Amino acid sequence: MKKLMDDDKWIYEDLTESIIGCCYRVHNRLGSGHKESVYQKALSEELSQGGIEHEREVHLKVKYRKKVAGTYRADFVVEGKIILEIKAVSSMPKQYEAQLVHYLKSTGFSLGLLINFGARSVQIRRRIWTVS
């Protein structure tokens, strides 16, 4: 994996910052302890309030050798560019991050955010996939 840079900026930097701001607002209002579905609905509302185009529970094709091998359901796709995976667990194991990278790799997306609302403070992992 490589970090994508464009004029010393991260890929989709402004959009990523807006999404992260929405996540913090949701966590500040709800705290931890709710089910994932509660955070998904709240985050959807917060993204809408911020004018951020998004889709929930999007079915994405997983490709293998240019053929569809299956589908994966993303919690969110934001502006057709970023996959968001929502969790509500006390701590995030590395396997969640690895899973997000596999989703990026097999769906053609370059950027994914793994967001955990279940800890004392919201946890966000930003993962990038590029083909060298």
Residues 6+ apart with CB under 8 A from 18: 50, 52
pLDDT, tens digit, 9 for 90 and up, residues 72-88: 899 999 999 999 999 99
Q: How does pLDDT run across 23-50, given as a tens digit for each residue?
A: 999 999 999 999 999 999 999 999 999 9
Looking at the structure of the chain, the number of domains it has is 1
Based on its alpha-carbon atoms, the radius of gyration of the chain, rounded to whole angstroms, reads 15
Q: Summarize pLDDT for 101-131 with one digit per residue, the tens.
A: 988 988 889 999 999 999 999 999 999 988 6
Q: Whats the size of the chain, residue-wise?
A: 132
Q: pTM for the whole thing?
A: 0.87
Q: Measure the CA–CA gap between 49 and 29, rounded to whole angstroms.
A: 15
Two tokens at 16?
């990523």
Cα gap 125→113, rounded to integer Å: 6
Domain housing 36? 5-128
For residue 57, the tally of other CB atoms under 10 A from its CB is 10
Assign residue 90 the CATH number of its domain: 3.40.960
